[in-house]
Amino acid sequence: MSGRTVTAWLGFMVAALLPLPANAHSGPPFPIVSDRAIGAYSISIWTDPDTTDNGSAGGQFWVMIAPLTRAAAMPASTRATVLATPLDSAGEPTSAAATPVRGDPSTQFAAVVLDHEGRFRVEITVDGPLGRATVDSEVAATYDLRPPPLMILVYLMPFVLVGLLWTAVLVRRRRAVPPGSPAVRRGAAGES
């Protein structure tokens, strides 16, 4: 094969292996509620709504709670609960109690099981000495876009093929140089 043919095939293989755009979330958490005033609280919710096949709690939620009156401190006994209900199927709701992050009741974390891809209604209930408040929103749960182990091999294939082709070219060039030629003597003597 000529160099152009090899380059064309490699270009085709790379283009064929490029991922197609997907309507999925991959990356850091993002806000679904920002500074919503409800009851005695200002509530913000950030999420990373990943779904899993193994039943682990992949839907992560960070609840930031602040008292509306800035002079008041957030009581340590304030707790949030996350409830996720599927909107596109007849699945069961899942819930989890949030726990303070590093002991700070104004930032709490909970993870719930989102058992399939699709839309979920998320309801956050905050309960504490300042009263009770409920806020809801929606998220689209998706699989985390990290490739499965088998796909890593597929992604590595173009690099392995380029390495094999490069090795074949080097071996062919090495065989094409006669044993007593000046190029071989210079390499053996360490000259450049």
- Whether the per-residue pLDDT at 132 is higher than 80: the answer is yes
Arithmetic mean of pLDDT, 5-22: 53
Cα(187)–Cα(192) distance, integer angstroms: 7
152, 134: one domain? no
**Structure confidence at residue 47 as a pLDDT band (50, 70, 90):** very high
- 131: Cα separation from own chain's centroid: 35
CA atoms within 13 A on the CB side of 86: 13
133, 155: one domain? no
Against a cut of 0.75, is the pTM above it? no
- Whether the per-residue pLDDT at 9 is higher than 60: the answer is no
**Structure confidence at residue 24 as a pLDDT band (50, 70, 90):** very low
Q: Whole domain around residue 103: which residue ranges?
A: 30-143
| Residue 25 is assigned to a structural domain of this protein | no
179, 118: one domain? no
| Residue 100 is assigned to a structural domain of this protein | yes
- Tens digit of pLDDT for each residue in 96-116? 999 999 999 999 999 999 888
Strands (E), the chain: 30-38, 41-51, 59-67, 79-86, 94-97, 99-101, 104-112, 118-128, 131-143
